[in-house]
Structure 1
Amino acid sequence: MTDDVDRDDRPPGRRQTPADQATVRRSNLGLVLRHLRDHGPRSRARIAQETGLNKATVSSLVAELTDRGLVSAGELHRGGTAGRPGLIVHLDGATVCGVGVELNVDYAAVLVLDLTGTVLHEEREPLDVPVLGFERTLDEVARLVAVAIEAVGAQGASPAGVTLAVPGLVNSGAGIVSVAPNIGWHDEPVLAGLKQRLDVGCPVRVENDANLSALAEWAMGSEARTPDLVYLTGEVGVGGGVIVAGRLLRGADGLSGEVGHIALGDPEQVCGCGRRGCWETVVGLAALLRAAADPDDPVHDPERDLEARLAEVARRAEAGDERTLAALSAVGTALGSGAAVLINLFNPRVVVLGGYFAVLGRFLLEPLTAELNARVFGPGLAGARVVLSTLGFTAAVRGGAHLALEAVFDDPTLVPLATPDSPTRTEIPS
């Protein structure tokens, strides 16, 4: 690691310029902040030992992070050695937050996390997105975000960023949703539309929902920090996100993860994308409900809360309803077929099932595992485990909030230094 102290032993002409020093200091500030996030409270001496920075540098960095309201010093810690005890440094950042928003076929949700991962605000509302259309849907999304920011502002927190999760192909650089078949969007300028409606004083991004869910699982799920991870989520559509060596696999144009449209489905069934035989035609929520209940059954009613509908499916399965159990078994087998392809392709250490796959996972795991054992090429499922997500339907919004906060961990100087005349609400540059 590189300390941000001036050194006089460089050859002539090789001394760092002030700009270089500022860059190194920003990097080291981020290093200390990330270290506290990933490893918990530490004394300054221990931070120095574990990061490779010298003690004087760590003291200076911690002082600045404290002045920016991102860390605080707590109890004394002697560490079992002679000498003056040190103060334990904690991640703080209650004044900085990330806003995650998710848009799906029949709901919109928002969740706000502070720098420690604490939920400051959460809201979810039913929303018939295909019927509302693009413009009115963005009006509702902007309203949800504005309400959330006002609520956390009353708690003294300012947004570091806003990230919207959308179920479809997203050009995240341009903020354009190329194709989102289940909500009926094609080549929609989502980012531009949001910026017209929001005055939040921070960066706004648009991302694929499954990619954000995969990031959330890697950052804060039950298998957090597993370097090679595949995430599969089932809702109206089916999406996936792949983490390789601790990094999200985006693909050449950021369009990876559309696993629901692999040709592993029923060739007679038309997918929401207009093609036949996509994987989601046999493992998506519509496929499960179609097999488990008649069309007029309440579990098909999109106006009912999704979790309530899934709870009813689970109740019937637990009661031994043969049609429900057969539908779940068929989905589990089909899910195993596709998951085996992904395990053979990416060799992950863990496959995380999210969305409705997690809610009904106890009924899916047995047929899924049997199919994996039959189809995965490597011994012992090639070292992979299948687990159920503990994040529920909040994975995408949590991933969005996490991504928004990454800007602060990358460059803590985005958060202004506290001054006696600082306003209560500070803005992070867009």
Structure 2
Amino acid sequence: MTVHPSPVLRSLASAQPADQAAVRRSNLALVLRHLGARGSRSRAGIAADTGLNKATVSSLVAELVDRGLVREGEPHRAGAVGRPGKDVALDGRCVGGIGVEVNVDYLTAVVLDLTSTVLFEQRVALDVPSLPPEDVLDAVAGLTSRAIRECERRDVLPVGVTVAIPALVDVAAGVVAFAPNLRWRDVPVVRGLADRLTGPLAEHPMPIRVANDANLAALGEHAMGGVAGTADLVHLTGGMGVGAGVISGGRLLGGAEGFSGEVGHIQLDPAGHECGCGRRGCWETLVGMAGMLRLAADADDPVSDPALGLDQRLDMIRCRAETGDRRTLDALERVGAGLGVGAAILINFVNPRAVVLGGYFACLGPYLLGPMRAELRARVIAPDIGGCRVELSTLGFAAASRGGANAALEAVFDDPAIVPIRSAARVSATGSG
């Protein structure tokens, strides 16, 4: 699988005179990112693509092999003459990035290695809005600890934790400024989680970060979803609320303060239902899961019970749709049309190549796509919907946690030397830069 390292949460080092060790670290990162973006390459190919000389590439590859970050293939002959060559490919099974998602009615944790292989994944039901933030952070710390223990069991080095939350997030401060659907304000997530993970962090020092779930979901789709590598895409989260992560030119659009993507609070009906943000008629009151359930079922219906698992509730809705329940089908048609109304605004504004429907939108996509596309054809100004296609996420509810895990792995792409050498056999690997 080709991995597309994401630019999210990458810290930019201050400009300083570079010594030999710094130059080598930079070159290690260059080679590792190149293999992540381009896939398996020969040493000669890496040298030609990066501008590094062949001797330097050989030294760098040897060190990356010793750190367990790349592997060499079987020897082969590139032509009729010359020594057999070996292709080099990304490995990284020895390192793990941890992504955690906090949402209205569940928590998720996932561990990915550098090739995006899932090493651990667990989702637990939790009625987050009914609990104090401190209790939720206790549960998050417990789930994160289980992910760290699984890394230890597999002899995998955890290199970071990224927490995805449906909220306005001050990424630099590690604080959730406002999460209307969780009923959180000014919650110091990073500090709170670090305080609860003192033991695991003492064993495995690593950064903890928090970011908006829609932005991380977009990065997850861009890195490993069905539209992986698409340079211009919009990912729409489908949960109790609605958010959008926008990738433009291969980069996440975060905004001046990192607060972009709050499309669920575009007001479409000023006289509509009250939103968790305190306003009326926001887009998410029409198409968020809470809005869909309000249309499809009464308040005392089991599908409206947050104590039930999310998959179970969605299975009930799907089963009713499959058996032709009129109320369910009408509700899904209205939600699909509402999705088209809001998505048309985004397509007219950013002209993406793809709009990806995530979360519950992906689960119930077959019932939403028809009315959504009809609205898009009627409302998008550019011909043929501006060349945009609508796709159902292949990651579903896992997109944000996977994006978080990929973001955590950025630390390795930034500086491969944070991963210790697993074999002392090649002392010469640290020789030339």
**In the alignment, what sits opposite 2:308?**
304
1:92/1:115 contact within 8 Å kept: yes
The reply to whether residue 414 of structure 1 matches residue 418 of structure 2 is yes
Deviates more, 1:293-302 or 1:410-419: 410-419
Amino acid at match of 1:33: L
**In the alignment, what sits opposite 1:14?**
none
**In the alignment, what sits opposite 1:263?**
267
- Determine helix, strand or coil for the equivalent of 1:238: coil
Deviates more, 1:241-250 or 1:313-322: 313-322
**In the alignment, what sits opposite 2:10?**
none
The reply to whether residue 37 of structure 1 matches residue 41 of structure 2 is no
Equivalent of residue 218 in structure 2, options 214, 237, 250 = 214
Deviation sequence 1:212-247 (CA, Å, 0-9, x none): 000001111111111111110111111110111111
Equivalent of residue 248 in structure 2, options 207, 221, 244 = 244
The reply to whether residue 254 of structure 1 matches residue 258 of structure 2 is yes
- Determine helix, strand or coil for the equivalent of 2:298: coil
**In the alignment, what sits opposite 1:13?**
none
Kindly state the Cα deviation for residue 21 of structure 1 after the two structures are TM-superposed. Answer: 3.6
- Determine helix, strand or coil for the equivalent of 2:356: strand
Count of residue pairs the alignment pairs up: 405
Deviation sequence 1:306-330 (CA, Å, 0-9, x none): 1121122112112221111111111
The reply to whether residue 293 of structure 1 matches residue 292 of structure 2 is no
The reply to whether residue 283 of structure 1 matches residue 287 of structure 2 is yes
**In the alignment, what sits opposite 1:130?**
129
- Determine helix, strand or coil for the equivalent of 1:269: coil
Kindly state the Cα deviation for residue 349 of structure 1 after the two structures are TM-superposed. Answer: 0.8
The reply to whether residue 175 of structure 1 matches residue 179 of structure 2 is no
TM-score (norm. length: structure 2): 0.90
Measure the CA separation in 1 of the matches of 2:270 and 2:109: 35
Equivalent of residue 323 in structure 1, options 313, 324, 327 = 327
**In the alignment, what sits opposite 2:57?**
58
Deviation sequence 1:50-76 (CA, Å, 0-9, x none): 333221121011011112221122211
* 1:19–1:303 CA distance, 2 compared to 1 (3 A): same
Deviates more, 1:81-90 or 1:255-264: 81-90
Deviates more, 1:261-270 or 1:147-156: 261-270
Measure the CA separation in 2 of the matches of 1:414 and 1:216: 23
After TM superposition, which residue ranges in structure 1, 4 or more long, deviate above 4 angstroms? none
**In the alignment, what sits opposite 2:120?**
121
Deviation sequence 1:393-414 (CA, Å, 0-9, x none): 1101100000000111111122
1:265/1:280 contact within 8 Å kept: no
Measure the CA separation in 2 of the matches of 1:416 and 1:225: 30
2:179/2:185 contact within 8 Å kept: yes
Measure the CA separation in 2 of the matches of 1:96 and 1:160: 7
Measure the CA separation in 1 of the matches of 2:276 and 2:292: 15
1:67/1:418 contact within 8 Å kept: yes
Kindly state the Cα deviation for residue 276 of structure 1 after the two structures are TM-superposed. Answer: 0.7
Measure the CA separation in 2 of the matches of 1:351 and 1:324: 24
The reply to whether residue 89 of structure 1 matches residue 88 of structure 2 is yes
Aligned-pair identity in percent equals 62
**In the alignment, what sits opposite 1:360?**
364
- The Cα RMSD (Å) is 1.6
Kindly state the Cα deviation for residue 266 of structure 1 after the two structures are TM-superposed. Answer: 6.0
The reply to whether residue 379 of structure 1 matches residue 369 of structure 2 is no
Deviates more, 1:98-107 or 1:311-320: 311-320
- Determine helix, strand or coil for the equivalent of 1:231: strand
Deviation sequence 1:135-163 (CA, Å, 0-9, x none): 11111111111111011111100111000
- Determine helix, strand or coil for the equivalent of 2:245: strand
1:229/1:349 contact within 8 Å kept: yes
- Determine helix, strand or coil for the equivalent of 1:19: coil
Amino acid at match of 2:350: F
1:240/1:257 contact within 8 Å kept: yes
Amino acid at match of 2:311: E
Gaps of 5+ in 1: 1-16, 422-430
Gaps of 5+ in 2: 1-15, 426-433
Kindly state the Cα deviation for residue 127 of structure 1 after the two structures are TM-superposed. Answer: 1.2
User: Within 5 Å, which residues of 2 pair with 1:100-249?
Assistant: 100-199=99-198, 200=201, 201-249=205-253
The reply to whether residue 69 of structure 1 matches residue 60 of structure 2 is no
The reply to whether residue 388 of structure 1 matches residue 387 of structure 2 is no
Measure the CA separation in 2 of the matches of 1:24 and 1:249: 30
Measure the CA separation in 2 of the matches of 1:24 and 1:371: 53
Kindly state the Cα deviation for residue 20 of structure 1 after the two structures are TM-superposed. Answer: 4.1
2:125/2:310 contact within 8 Å kept: no
1:266/1:279 contact within 8 Å kept: no
1:265/1:281 contact within 8 Å kept: no
Larger relative contact order, structure 1 or 2 (CA cutoff 8 Å, min sep 6): 2
Kindly state the Cα deviation for residue 18 of structure 1 after the two structures are TM-superposed. Answer: 7.9
